[in-house]
Amino acid sequence: MYYDELSMTEFSKRVKQKDLVAILPIGAVEAHGPHLPLSTDSLQPEHVAREVAKKLNALILPPFRYGMCSSTKNYPGTISISPESLRMVVRDIISELVRNGVKNIVVLAGHAGLHHISALKLAAQDIVDAKKVKIMVLSDYDIAYDLRGKVVPEDDGHAGTIETSRVMAIRPDLHKARGKKSENRIPHFRVFKNPDKYWANATNGDPTKASALLGRKVNDYIVKALVVHIKLMLRAPE
Amino acid sequence: MYYDELSMTEFSKRVKQKDLVAILPIGAVEAHGPHLPLSTDSLQPEHVAREVAKKLNALILPPFRYGMCSSTKNYPGTISISPESLRMVVRDIISELVRNGVKNIVVLAGHAGLHHISALKLAAQDIVDAKKVKIMVLSDYDIAYDLRGKVVPEDDGHAGTIETSRVMAIRPDLHKARGKKSENRIPHFRVFKNPDKYWANATNGDPTKASALLGRKVNDYIVKALVVHIKLMLRAPE
Amino acid sequence: MYYDELSMTEFSKRVKQKDLVAILPIGAVEAHGPHLPLSTDSLQPEHVAREVAKKLNALILPPFRYGMCSSTKNYPGTISISPESLRMVVRDIISELVRNGVKNIVVLAGHAGLHHISALKLAAQDIVDAKKVKIMVLSDYDIAYDLRGKVVPEDDGHAGTIETSRVMAIRPDLHKARGKKSENRIPHFRVFKNPDKYWANATNGDPTKASALLGRKVNDYIVKALVVHIKLMLRAPE
Amino acid sequence: MYYDELSMTEFSKRVKQKDLVAILPIGAVEAHGPHLPLSTDSLQPEHVAREVAKKLNALILPPFRYGMCSSTKNYPGTISISPESLRMVVRDIISELVRNGVKNIVVLAGHAGLHHISALKLAAQDIVDAKKVKIMVLSDYDIAYDLRGKVVPEDDGHAGTIETSRVMAIRPDLHKARGKKSENRIPHFRVFKNPDKYWANATNGDPTKASALLGRKVNDYIVKALVVHIKLMLRAPE
Amino acid sequence: MYYDELSMTEFSKRVKQKDLVAILPIGAVEAHGPHLPLSTDSLQPEHVAREVAKKLNALILPPFRYGMCSSTKNYPGTISISPESLRMVVRDIISELVRNGVKNIVVLAGHAGLHHISALKLAAQDIVDAKKVKIMVLSDYDIAYDLRGKVVPEDDGHAGTIETSRVMAIRPDLHKARGKKSENRIPHFRVFKNPDKYWANATNGDPTKASALLGRKVNDYIVKALVVHIKLMLRAPE
Amino acid sequence: MYYDELSMTEFSKRVKQKDLVAILPIGAVEAHGPHLPLSTDSLQPEHVAREVAKKLNALILPPFRYGMCSSTKNYPGTISISPESLRMVVRDIISELVRNGVKNIVVLAGHAGLHHISALKLAAQDIVDAKKVKIMVLSDYDIAYDLRGKVVPEDDGHAGTIETSRVMAIRPDLHKARGKKSENRIPHFRVFKNPDKYWANATNGDPTKASALLGRKVNDYIVKALVVHIKLMLRAPE
């Protein structure tokens, strides 16, 4: 299940598996309010990766737990790397997977910031433009937010009801506190040196409404949907 | 113990701890013969980091499990990233630690290749030239190889007696096979596209002599020595 | 009204104007179906810039009519530049505005692609992190799409009803044909070398529903909203 | 005549035109004394491009009105971009023209600074080294200065007699004042942070001798000569 | 006289010399016809540097004998480095001179190609923009070509009468043959992959008219003029 | 013997020589205590290159006398260039040698610092990965230090007995003083802004034990060993 638990000899055999998928979980070290750990955006895609890997007999690559954080970049604990660094590392990793004969790759991010996702997609674009390989890049929140306006309000976001619930389901021991309903008030379209001035708590939504039960439902929803998307990729002509 | 298991609020407090040390384990996905897993160079520094962190009440950052591999770059399973990517990511991470108020940083690599270590040291150099912080960069093999010519032959190396023993001590379930005595015959000073032609088995030394007992001794030796070096750093004027 | 129609002497005086705003229109050369010109994404922000400049006595910089196009990159006529090139040029321009004493800058893009907007925001971020200046970065579609689900269907998009209407209002002579209702069927999350295979006509929406009247309404809506946002920026403490 | 006024469908047909030439006008936002607008170096090549395009049925690309300015970089209004930015954007544009099937490209600059022209030629060199295409890179002053020592003194230069005359011919409304005879006294071979200290007025030559009539003559001379050079390129074997 | 023949201790003293000038000779490995050595552009500035150093008690840095060659890049023997490499190395060297307390620097190139000189000047610009130091960048041909139209024809150029004469004066043993009058026929303004097709002999001018006597005169002329320019720099306020 | 003393015509012939080897000497401008010149690391590989070239009828390229210095970077006189600059220049030079038909290249450095050697090997790696050529990269100290523990103590190092002896043998006039036994006390694994604080004299070893006789022996030893290594390279299949 874990790519790097194989030996070189085992890997040689395993890579020949029909429809082998490799999943690269991309996390972040990012402030998520006082109620969630800095690893929030790592825990979620790594959980999804494990569940998906079980269903598809996929390989999981060593997670890369660093990302590019914009609005939370000044909060305590956040470690934000540049989009260039992120793009280069992910490009290198994908490129080596292709060299090794892997044909289907899923880059699965927990963090869904604009520059973060842009960097990941550019890394993938660099490779698909040059090599024959199928790649999918997404944040699990691209799927989770299907549920906004349904199980949670439309404006649920960072460290809000869904995210808190998912952490409660995955690592209840890291759910630190009840949290507090808060709102991101960063003025539209502005680019700031200190966006945190406009954002109390690094929370956008209502973590007090969260539950492990809801978290499990959301996680299951994501896993099922992602499995469908990956199967579509495997069947696609290119 | 793990940096990213803290919440932003907890981190704010923890960073004020006197003599707080943050350890960044750097691994690799690299072929280590048929007897060891691709994660060999990740397991070792992560183990050392945990033991050191216990003794010094240090924080461990999310491991970065990718490195720059030269001589093994064409073996199955190896994922080699460029030295620029490595340097940029590590520089970004260290830079953010400094922004967060961390004053003592240990970058601890499992892999000890020339370009790999150079990239890590350049990353650290970039930061110490600009910011007030103490940084140490090393491979745990810089310490482990003190024992060459003592408990193992002088030419013990990659996936050899020491490395195999250490994996047996840390993750016995990932010790796959007995391995085979082999030797790196890459001609001196040459730079090759395909160095693997000169290197059977991706092994340099004799893994058949390895034991979990020896592994534990080596690991303990490293942990003790590293603790001493870190304490020296904490006491140094700059 | 146009920055570069001033002489150096005139500029020296003009830059002292209270609450002077400089607007940098960013266009693109991009396929927009058989019914719209390649300049579609240039015409729109340049029109908005002129209307906003009239109301706020702002200066308009020479438009930069090149952008980063992902899904249309293989259509005839598209000229897609790299996000690095875009970011560097825009950063240089903004940086020079700051050197010249301009304190309020609006970067207004017609094209709204992920990498395109990311590049523009990163350029602005580079400057606000280092210099004292207020910057706003947006696509006029960030405002126009408020109207989706109201005057046009939710899924109206590239070269669809709104965009066609706006071109009909701004440059009726460049409205070439009625166009054809089409849909972007690029599979979710995939990154492709040839996304055009999944996208007939480079059109996403129904251009046959477009009218100059609707175009004028949308343009007016954008101009009014943008003026409000800019006034908020002028009044903000930083 | 304008590349981006075509739709994608029209462009597909137009690109098949025998001996199709695409002209990329490169301007600048640069101080040209109190008598000329900041757009001086944009107006001129754009005028020439239009006249040449009429004669050769060429396509004109959206002008890029930013350049690298050395000696005027500190004057009010000047916007100087780095040579890397300039090279990258122009390389990207040319590269996309080649992808689109354009075989003959003229990069026509108004500004003629060393680093500016070097950047443009390097951009072109990058492409001709890799792709089959004919490219010409010049400033229209490479031709205009044939007339120095004839209709104007040998030392006529930036914002001097010729340049003022040309603006008077092209955009008489932007001829702001009579100007003043001045001279660039930057010591030979020195590289300065503040070259403007040695250069009053950002003028090198005598703008008081300028006339619209002379401007028209110079413009005609350039257009004719450039048409000849382009025809030579079209007829050349490579 | 030679910077690097000093020990660190000697250098510490020497750097305090009033009006100390450091000269960095930049050569090239470039085809100069069948009659001159590949080192032609290195020999000349190194000779000038020595003569100037004698007169001004200056220090000569280790010559950098590699340059960026455009039109001769495909001839046998030419070694053309990229302008980025050239700029970076020269910037690093100048930067270190400034760190060492050197206040007056002359970068003296033998080769005078557009991109080559642009790279050298950009390197110097990078430093003067950030540090307090006086820098002069020139090719000795910027001075030598004062003599065109006087002692040699206006169109004397690469490997022509002046250059051949100078080599005959400096290193007669490396004057290999009489050479042959030839002309560079590269079409104006074109950028070529293979410019050598239009240029027989890598010679532009008439080497058969050369003499050691003329070479000595030209060399003396350059040395005297350069000494004057350097003295002007030493006396200038900045 | 010297590459750039050939004319282009002579080079064309010479490059066809069977088993032609080109040697690129890489020096440094680096403090080597009060007893040795800043050129110490240039003199040595240039001497070795000459002796080897005589034996193998090899060509010597113009030396590149600048390197990346870490621990001596703050001493007077040292000129340390970045590893990127070094890598780029050396890559460009090697690449041009390959273009010129040279098949066997030796990059011979005097300085042996980690980042310096890493940069040189990365430059070579870039080329061997893309072109058919044999390259060897080494410091002559990779060979000289075979003699540690034999003719000199194990810990002889920078500016110590061997290095001082070699300079005495090669350029006795540049042996400035007896020197003084000193030791590098930079704490292990630390990366410092000012490593010189821990290192008196920029000397590591005992220069007072040096002699020209020992220097000649060491030089001869290196020359012989290097000739053997080069012959092995010539005979190797790739």
Closest by CA position to A6, among listed B76, B68, B110, B112 = B76
Q: Is E62 in a helix, a strand, or coil?
A: coil
- Say if residue C219's pLDDT is above 90: yes
Task: Give per-residue pLDDT as tens, E114-127.
Answer: 999 999 999 999 99
Mean pLDDT across chain A: 97
What is the rounded average pLDDT of the residues C30-47?
98
Which H or E run contains E234? helix E212-235
Task: Give per-residue pLDDT as tens, A160-211.
Answer: 999 999 999 999 999 999 999 999 999 999 999 999 999 989 999 999 999 9
Closest by CA position to C152, among listed C209, C191, C213, C201 = C209
Q: Is E7 in a helix, a strand, or coil?
A: strand
Contact across the interface for F89 and E100, Cβ inside 8 Å: no
Query: What is the model's pLDDT at position E51?
Result: 98
**Rounded CA separation A136/C101 (Å):** 45
Query: What is the model's pLDDT at position E200?
Result: 84
C and B touch per CB criterion (3+ pairs under 8 A)? no
Please list the pLDDT of chain D residue by residue as tens digits (238 residues): 999 999 999 999 999 999 999 999 999 999 999 999 999 999 999 999 999 999 999 999 999 999 999 999 999 999 999 999 999 999 999 999 999 999 999 999 999 999 999 999 999 999 999 999 999 999 999 999 999 999 899 999 999 999 999 999 999 999 999 999 999 999 999 999 999 999 989 999 999 999 999 999 999 999 999 999 999 999 999 8
C180–chain A nearest CA distance, Å: 27
Of B70, B192, B232, the CB nearest to F187: B232
Query: What is the model's pLDDT at position F238?
Result: 83
Q: Under a CB-based contact definition with an 8 Å cutoff, are residues A140 and A44 in contact?
A: yes
Q: Is E148 in a helix, a strand, or coil?
A: strand
Enumerate the residues of chain F whose CB falls inside 8 A of the CB of residue E4.
29, 37-39, 42, 65, 77
Contact across the interface for B122 and F115, Cβ inside 8 Å: yes
Q: Can you read off the two tokens belonging to residue B22?
A: 């943050």
**Rounded CA separation F181/B103 (Å):** 35
Measured CB to CB, residues of chain E less than 8 Å from chain D are: 70, 83, 114-115, 117-118, 121-122, 124-125, 128-129, 134-138, 142, 187-193, 229, 232-233, 236, 238
Of E115, E124, E192, the CB nearest to D118: E115
Interface mutation vs chain F, best among E2, E9, E111, E158, most F CBs within 10 Å? E9
Of F3, F82, F100, the CB nearest to E92: F82
Q: Under a CB-based contact definition with an 8 Å cutoff, are residues E83 and E109 in contact?
A: no
Mean pLDDT across chain F: 97
Cβ atoms within 10 Å, residue D34: 20
Domains in chain C, please, with CATH? 3-235 (3.40.50.10310)
Cβ atoms within 10 Å, residue D166: 29
pLDDT band at B153 (very low <50, low <70, confident <90, very high): very high
Nearest Cα residue in chain E from D129:
E193
Q: Dihedrals φ, ψ of E70, to 5°?
A: -95, -65
Contact across the interface for E189 and D232, Cβ inside 8 Å: no
What is the rounded average pLDDT of the residues F123-136?
98
Query: What is the model's pLDDT at position C11?
Result: 98
pLDDT band at B225 (very low <50, low <70, confident <90, very high): very high
Task: Give per-residue pLDDT as tens, F42-95.
Answer: 999 999 999 999 999 999 999 999 999 999 999 999 999 999 999 999 999 999
C and F touch per CB criterion (3+ pairs under 8 A)? no
pLDDT band at F148 (very low <50, low <70, confident <90, very high): very high
F191–chain B nearest CA distance, Å: 6
Mean pLDDT across chain B: 97
Query: Which chains lie within 8 Å of chain F at 3 or more CB pairs, if any?
Result: B, E
pLDDT band at F208 (very low <50, low <70, confident <90, very high): very high
Q: Under a CB-based contact definition with an 8 Å cutoff, are residues F36 and F78 in contact?
A: no
Query: Which chains lie within 8 Å of chain D at 3 or more CB pairs, if any?
Result: C, E
Enumerate the residues of chain F whose CB falls inside 8 A of the CB of residue B236.
187, 190
Q: Under a CB-based contact definition with an 8 Å cutoff, are residues D87 and D127 in contact?
A: no
**Rounded CA separation C41/C62 (Å):** 15
What is the rounded average pLDDT of the residues E202-221?
98
Cβ neighbors of A58 (< 8 A, separation 6 or more) are: A1, A20, A21, A22, A23, A49, A52, A106
Q: Dihedrals φ, ψ of C217, to 5°?
A: -60, -45
Question: Following CA atoms D203, D208, D211, D212 in sequence, which dihedral angle do they give, to the nearest 10 degrees?
Answer: 50
Of F4, F8, F93, the CB nearest to E75: F8
Contact across the interface for B64 and A66, Cβ inside 8 Å: yes
Query: What is the model's pLDDT at position F200?
Result: 84
Query: What is the model's pLDDT at position B104?
Result: 98
Contact across the interface for A88 and B84, Cβ inside 8 Å: yes
Query: What is the model's pLDDT at position E2?
Result: 98
Q: Dihedrals φ, ψ of D194, to 5°?
A: -125, 70
Contact across the interface for E7 and F42, Cβ inside 8 Å: no
Mean pLDDT across chain E: 97
Query: Which chains lie within 8 Å of chain A at 3 or more CB pairs, if any?
Result: B, C
Q: Side by side, which strands form the sheet with A104-109?
A: A59-60, A21-26, A104-109, A134-139
ipTM confidence score: 0.97
DSSP chain D: -BGGGSBHHHHHHHTTSTT-EEEEEE--B---TTTSBTTHHHHHHHHHHHHHHHHHT-EEPPPB--B--STTTTSTT-BB--HHHHHHHHHHHHHHHHHTT--EEEEEES---HHHHHHHHHHHHHHHTTS--EEEEEEHHHHHGGGBTTTB-TT--TTSHHHHHHHHHH-GGG--S----B-B-PPTTB--S-GGGGBGGG--B-GGG--HHHHHHHHHHHHHHHHHHHHHHHHS--
Contact across the interface for D7 and C39, Cβ inside 8 Å: no
Query: What is the model's pLDDT at position D238?
Result: 83
Give percent of chain C above pLDDT 70. 100
**Rounded CA separation B188/F236 (Å):** 12
Exposure string over B141-180, b if 16+ CB within 10 A, otherwise e: bbbbbebbeebbeeebbbbbbbbbbbbbbbbeebbbeebe
Cβ atoms within 10 Å, residue F13: 10
**Rounded CA separation C1/D153 (Å):** 36
Contact across the interface for E114 and D117, Cβ inside 8 Å: yes
A and E touch per CB criterion (3+ pairs under 8 A)? no
Angle between helices A83-99 and A114-128 (to 10 degrees): 30
What angle is formed at CA E48 by the lines to CA E42 and CA E51, rounded to 5 degrees? 140
Enumerate the residues of chain A whose CB falls inside 8 A of the CB of residue C138.
188-189
Nearest Cα residue in chain A from B7:
A37
Enumerate the residues of chain A whose CB falls inside 8 A of the CB of residue C115.
118, 121-122
Furthest-apart CA atoms within chain A: distance in Å: 55
Nearest Cα residue in chain E from F81:
E92
Enumerate the residues of chain F whose CB falls inside 8 A of the CB of residue E35.
7
What is the rounded average pLDDT of the residues F138-154?
94
Query: What is the model's pLDDT at position F60?
Result: 98
pLDDT band at F35 (very low <50, low <70, confident <90, very high): very high
Contact across the interface for A191 and C124, Cβ inside 8 Å: yes
Exposure string over D110-145, b if 16+ CB within 10 A, otherwise e: bbbbbbbbbbbbbbbbbbbeeeebbbbbbbbbbbbb
- Say if residue F218's pLDDT is above 90: yes
**Rounded CA separation D141/E41 (Å):** 29
Query: What is the model's pLDDT at position C155?
Result: 92
- Say if residue C200's pLDDT is above 90: no
- Say if residue F154's pLDDT is above 90: yes
Enumerate the residues of chain E whose CB falls inside 8 A of the CB of residue F126.
none
Query: What is the model's pLDDT at position D234?
Result: 98
Task: Give per-residue pLDDT as tens, C123-145.
Answer: 999 999 999 999 999 999 999 99
- Say if residue A127's pLDDT is above 90: yes
pTM of the model: 0.97
**Rounded CA separation C131/C102 (Å):** 11
Contact across the interface for D76 and C29, Cβ inside 8 Å: no
- Say if residue B238's pLDDT is above 90: no
Contact across the interface for F62 and E66, Cβ inside 8 Å: yes
Query: Which chains lie within 8 Å of chain C at 3 or more CB pairs, if any?
Result: A, D
